[in-house]
Amino acid sequence: MKKMELNSNQIMLELIDYILKEDLVNKFDLNTIKDSANSFYENFYASKHRKTKQKLVEEIEKFSLYDMSNYNGYETAIIPNLIMVLSIFKPEFVRKLTSNSDNKKYMDFGGLKRKVSPPVEAYEYVGNNKLDISPTHRSYGLLFE
């Protein structure tokens, strides 16, 4: 099996070589693929600097899974399976690269501040009012800011 052509980046060559070496193309199992992506990260990229990891993520995101010119030199029989494995392997590897970093894509928006619509207690009987609202025992959708 030949290598990919020069139009592809180095990190994707390493990813595909690792996938083929581990024979993930023939045993398509979600947990196995995710575990392999995590072990690939731990073995080769866990000790890298944060800026290096950001550059790697940028290079990985440039790679198009469905551009067939990226797979020139590989057997046509394994390309569909390779695309399926890469579609699981790549996001899991990127998730490991971006965890514990200041990537704006994965920012925490914090908790809920205050309720906007009235709580269920507001619909209880208040007094002798002809406009009393009786609850219908449906779930009330509360809005939050």
- Helices marked H in the chain — which ranges? 10-21, 30-44, 50-62, 79-98
Handedness of CA 79, 33, 30, 86 (dihedral sign): negative
Taking the whole predicted model, whether its pTM rises above 0.75 is answered as no
Amino acid occupying residue 10: Q
Residue 123 is predicted with a pLDDT of: 61
> Which tens digit of pLDDT belongs to each residue from 4-28?
443 458 899 999 999 999 999 988 8
Tokens representing 3 are 């290598």
